Amino acid sequence: MKKIHKFTVYWFPILVYCLLIYIQSSHPSPQSLPDWPFIDKLLHFACYAFLGALFVRAFNTTPIKHNLKLVVILSVLLSSLYGISDEIHQHFVPFRTADVMDALSDILGSIAGVYLYSKLTGSGFPVQRCSEKDGPQPGFRQGSGVRGQVSGIRGQGSGIRLKKIHKFTVYWFPILVYCLLIYIQSSHPSPQSLPDWPFIDKLLHFACYAFLGALFVRAFNTTPIKHNLKLVVILSVLLSSLYGISDEIHQHFVPFRTADVMDALSDILGSIAGVYLYSKLTGSGFPVQRSRL
């Protein structure tokens, strides 16, 4: 169970994310992006920064987690190689081209994502901590009375802010990035290069929103409502399903796309399945009944 849980929580998101990038790259280049300078390069940078962070997060659950240099090198290498392979893939997609500058943006994004995630979580680039022998830590002033107490409160406040930033980056920022990717994907005409399997589009909708539902449960389990299991489950299913419905409405206004009730139903069912499976596998949301000896 531990191995299944570890794969589901840490490695499966990488597979889903890479699949989304592959599907996105199988379309003609989007025509509905804002007319900002270097917007395509910024999107490449952000997408692969997120992938690099996912790799660090996953490798930090493996036996090599104590070899910090190896974790960082492998994370940057795998994320960058996937970016390069995706540019090669685009060379064979109609109305797309392989672009060296896009590949460079992917590599730089991978490096930035690995570095930022490692810094914010304290993994990969360890923060030097002072021991008691080294004296007071930087940022804290020794002193007695009110001055010493004020210094301590300031230090605690800084620590709380860092924890909030870390929590947002690790739990809520992935949801924003994932929703942005779905929005960009839906802004294109329907893909023509999907396998000719029955209900393949419905299965993709189901899988995509199962992952989004799981992300919401994971994020809500870091909030004050985490002990209210029913509320966590209801909010996760509701938000994931509503985003799926809103995305179908968005597609109604995209050329060569249509809003499909069956797609929306697949999104809702996927959200329910993702919330249920994640909760079962992690032991949150649907507590497992244990027998007494």
Helices 100-121, 68-91: inter-axial angle, 10-degree rounding? 150
pTM: 0.57
Look-up of token digits 């910024």? 42
Counting other chains too, the contacts that 148-157 makes at CB distance below 8 Å and 24 or more residues apart are none
pLDDT by residue for the chain (293 residues), tens only, comes to 678 878 888 898 999 999 989 988 887 776 556 667 778 899 899 999 999 999 999 999 999 888 888 899 999 999 999 999 999 998 888 888 888 899 999 999 999 999 999 888 876 554 444 444 445 544 444 445 555 555 555 556 556 776 788 788 888 988 998 998 888 888 877 765 566 777 788 999 999 999 999 999 999 999 988 888 899 999 999 999 999 999 999 988 888 888 889 999 999 999 999 999 999 888 765 544 444 44
Integer CA distances (angstroms), 224 to 219, 221, 231, 232, 286, in order = 11, 8, 11, 10, 17
Domain ranges of the chain: 1-128
Counting other chains too, the contacts that 94-102 makes at CB distance below 8 Å and 24 or more residues apart are 94/28, 95/28, 95/29, 96/25, 96/28, 96/29, 101/41, 102/40, 102/41, 102/44
Look-up of token digits 């924003």? 176
Integer CA distances (angstroms), 165 to 128, 162, 173, 195, 282, in order = 19, 5, 10, 41, 24
